């Protein structure tokens, strides 16, 4: 499948000056590269040493009592980061006991509708912390400590470190809690991590920690070739010599498959070199997923081949590291990655991938330089005929640019390479399109968006009388999917007759006003009370999204567990702040991101 390159033909041209400056570095590390490529990756055995030393000196228990089947592993590409643990299957259900992998004390407890959900951090011996996420519930002593903290703080979520006086200690094999589907989990499973306690860097749990048999080697199905103006896919193994008519750089789709499950998992190492006539190294690259760092983990966006990753989510890895990419997984120097062959010059691209069990796969792609094709004009398209703003952004510099009444401000480090930003504004001023869309934005671009003087400027879109001025509040900049669903919505701050919005990515953004309050109703039937004594509501907000929830029982603040995946809000009867046998006033107030509010009020009688 070919992902069409859209409207950013200038992008690659902008790289070229950068590349020239780096050629010297490429020469300098050729010699170095040659030496490591001789002895490819026996590091796998060494990285397991920390685990084997630990297990020799301390008790270790796998966190589930069923055999480990993985739906995800360490280092696979996920959203905007590398996955920092393993996802252990829980037979498609919740409530499996989750065991302490080591002796230790509970160092941190988190409860959140997002991310890790209900998560427990167990600090064990030898500087090793284990993390258990998406839990349904904690062990009773942890659960009651955590719930008490939320009532103290009147906070729906929790992120707290229990003092040693709380006595939350476990031995390896004790039940810490029960598996669930809380937070950003897409189905019941246990997310399990091993971290170095001192810096909280996640370590690869398959480096000898979890006992997991894996006899299947990694899969390397496709190569992606990027030129200054285009990109295309080559199925592997390549049937022909690949003809290069211009300077290119490479990315490869690569992933692991494990015994017993069909899921796609991450690699342990990925290595590539381009060699001319078996001797001269034109490019060398090696990444190793041994340890990650949350501080820079989102630079994964610059490791992935973003045009493919951001659209079809294939695990496509760049075979070079941008100088601005701060990830610590690379064992070779940074470069923009360009390879250029003279006409008739021959070389071979070698790629090798390993998994954590030491299985390996490799491919070789023969390359030959060809005379350049007649360049097609990449800038000739409909959009370019329109009036637009256009300016360059250097990766290390902040700056501003005005286009008409619109203003744009970006911070240093917004892009990984020099980019040309282009902006098109609809004549009404209601809609703008910002390019590029096929590179990651590490930071949002702040847009100063002029507010039209009268509602007539934006005919018919809102229930505002002709000639009246636009209401000042509840505006958002909205990005929608092809099917019209809201992809992203950014609240617009009104200041000095303008809106300020932080746009986190390129694409089309439209100003919309949200006047619809959230929906709040009993989840199942006429009453939120269910047989267990829990009270369950359906809460949903169409555009801006829910910002705050306040539940009161007999006027008292009550903890509400919010599950945004199911639009479900639950008061758990085990919190025991409700009376029994007498009618009691209950109110639930839900507020969205722009301040629309709905209050549900009724008297409930708990049995």
Q: Would you tell me which residues interact with Zn ion (CB under 5 A)?
A: 87, 191
Cβ–Cβ < 8 Å for 389, 445? no
Query: Which residues are paired to 304 by β-bridges?
Result: 317
Considering the complex, what minimum distance in angstroms separates the CB of residue 76 from Zn ion? 9
By C-beta, is 72 or 104 nearer to Zn ion?
72
Considering the complex, what minimum distance in angstroms separates the CB of residue 65 from Zn ion? 19
Closest C-alpha among 487, 503, 395, 397 to residue 448 = 503
By C-beta, is 181 or 269 nearer to Zn ion?
181
Structure tokens at 208: 């000898």
Considering the complex, what minimum distance in angstroms separates the CB of residue 209 from Zn ion? 15
Cβ–Cβ < 8 Å for 502, 515? no
Considering the complex, what minimum distance in angstroms separates the CB of residue 72 from Zn ion? 5
By C-beta, is 84 or 301 nearer to Zn ion?
84
Q: Is 557 helix (H, G, I), strand (E, B) or coil?
A: strand
By C-beta, is 87 or 419 nearer to Zn ion?
87
Torsional sign, CA 416, 420, 425, 429: positive
* Residue that the structure tokens 């598996």 belong to: 179
Q: What angle do CA 342, 347, 351 make, to 5 degrees?
A: 135
Rg of the chain over Cα atoms, rounded to whole angstroms, equals: 27
What distance in Å separates the CA atoms of residue 90 and residue 114, rounded to the nearest whole number?
20
By C-beta, is 191 or 320 nearer to Zn ion?
191
By C-beta, is 87 or 417 nearer to Zn ion?
87
Considering the complex, what minimum distance in angstroms separates the CB of residue 502 from Zn ion? 28
Burial class (CB in 10 A: 0-12, 13-18, 19+), 509: buried
Cβ–Cβ < 8 Å for 338, 17? no
Structural element, H or E, at residue 391: strand 389-393
Number of residues written out for the chain:
607
Considering the complex, what minimum distance in angstroms separates the CB of residue 193 from Zn ion? 8
By C-beta, is 72 or 518 nearer to Zn ion?
72
By C-beta, is 87 or 355 nearer to Zn ion?
87
Question: Which residue number places its CB atom closest to Zn ion?
Answer: 191
Cβ–Cβ < 8 Å for 190, 30? no
Alpha helices, DSSP H, located in 357-434: 382-385
DSSP-derived pairing of the beta strands 535-540 and 519-522? antiparallel
Structure tokens at 607: 């049995």
By C-beta, is 87 or 592 nearer to Zn ion?
87
Q: Write the CA distances from 60 to 124, 195, 349, 450, 499, integer angstroms.
A: 10, 15, 43, 61, 56
Query: Which residues are paired to 137 by β-bridges?
Result: 178
DSSP 437-483: -SS--SSPEEEEEEPPSSGGGGTTSSS--TTPPPPSSSEEEEEE-TT
By C-beta, is 76 or 290 nearer to Zn ion?
76
């Amino acid at each position: 499948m070919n992902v069409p390159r859209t409207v950013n033909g200038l992008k690659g041209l902008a790289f070229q000056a950068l590349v020239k400056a780096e050629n010297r570095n490429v020469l300098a590390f050729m010699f170095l590269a040659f030496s490591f490529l001789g002895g490819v990756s026996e590091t796998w055995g060494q990285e397991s040493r920390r685990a084997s030393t630990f297990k020799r000196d301390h008790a270790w228990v796998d966190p589930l009592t069923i055999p480990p089947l993985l739906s995800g592993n360490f280092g696979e590409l996920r959203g905007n980061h590398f996955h920092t643990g393993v996802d252990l299957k829980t037979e498609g259900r919740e409530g499996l006991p989750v065991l302490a992998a080591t002796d230790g004390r509970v160092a941190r407890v988190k409860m959140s509708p997002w991310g890790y959900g209900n998560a427990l951090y167990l600090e064990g011996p030898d500087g090793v912390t284990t993390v258990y996420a998406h839990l349904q519930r904690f062990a009773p002593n942890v659960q009651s400590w955590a719930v008490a903290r939320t009532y103290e703080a009147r906070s729906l979520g929790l992120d707290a470190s229990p003092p040693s006086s709380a006595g939350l200690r476990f031995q390896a094999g004790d039940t810490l809690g029960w598996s669930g589907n809380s937070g950003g989990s897409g189905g019941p499973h246990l997310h399990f991590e091993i971290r170095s306690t001192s810096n909280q860097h996640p370590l690869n749990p398959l480096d000898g920690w979890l006992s997991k048999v894996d006899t299947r080697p990694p899969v390397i199905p496709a190569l992606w070739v990027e030129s200054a103006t285009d990109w295309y896919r080559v199925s592997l193994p390549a049937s022909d010599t690949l003809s290069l008519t211009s300077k290119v750089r490479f990315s490869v789709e690569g992933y692991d498959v494990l015994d017993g499950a069909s899921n796609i998992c991450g690699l342990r190492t990925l290595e590539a070199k381009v060699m001319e006539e078996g001797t001269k190294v034109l490019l060398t690259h090696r990444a190793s997923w041994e340890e990650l760092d949350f501080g820079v983990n989102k630079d994964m966006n610059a490791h992935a081949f973003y045009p493919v990753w951001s659209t079809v989510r294939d695990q496509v890895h760049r075979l070079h590291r941008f100088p601005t990419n701060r990830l610590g997984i690379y064992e070779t120097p940074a470069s923009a990655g360009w390879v250029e062959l003279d006409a008739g010059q021959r070389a071979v691209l070698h790629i090798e991938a390993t998994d954590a069990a030491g299985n390996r796969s490799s491919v070789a792609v023969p390359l030959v330089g060809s005379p350049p094709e007649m360049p097609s004009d990449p800038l000739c398209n409909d959009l370019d005929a329109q009036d637009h703003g256009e300016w360059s952004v250097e990766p290390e510099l902040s700056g501003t640019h005005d286009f008409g009444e619109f203003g744009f401000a970006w911070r240093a480090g917004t892009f990984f390479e020099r980019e040309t930003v282009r902006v098109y504004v609809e004549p009404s001023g209601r809609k703008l399109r910002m390019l590029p869309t096929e590179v990651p934005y590490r930071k949002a671009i702040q847009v100063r968006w002029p507010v039209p003087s009268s509602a007539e400027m934006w005919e018919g879109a809102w229930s505002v009388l002709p000639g009246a001025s636009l209401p000042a509040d509840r505006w958002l900049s909205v990005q929608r999917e092809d099917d019209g669903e809201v992809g992203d919505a950014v609240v617009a701050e009104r200041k000095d007759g303008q809106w300020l919005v932080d746009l986190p990515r390129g694409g089309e953004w439209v100003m919309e006003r949200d006047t619809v309050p959230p929906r709040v109703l009993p989840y199942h039937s006429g009453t939120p009370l269910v047989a267990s004594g829990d009270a369950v509501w359906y809460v949903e907000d169409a555009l801006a999204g829910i910002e705050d929830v306040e539940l009161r029982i007999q006027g008292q603040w009550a903890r509400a567990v919010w599950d945004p995946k199911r639009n479900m809000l639950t008061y758990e009867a085990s919190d025991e702040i409700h009376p029994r046998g007498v009618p009691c006033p209950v109110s639930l107030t839900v507020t969205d991101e722009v301040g629309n509010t709905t209050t549900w009020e009724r008297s409930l009688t708990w049995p």
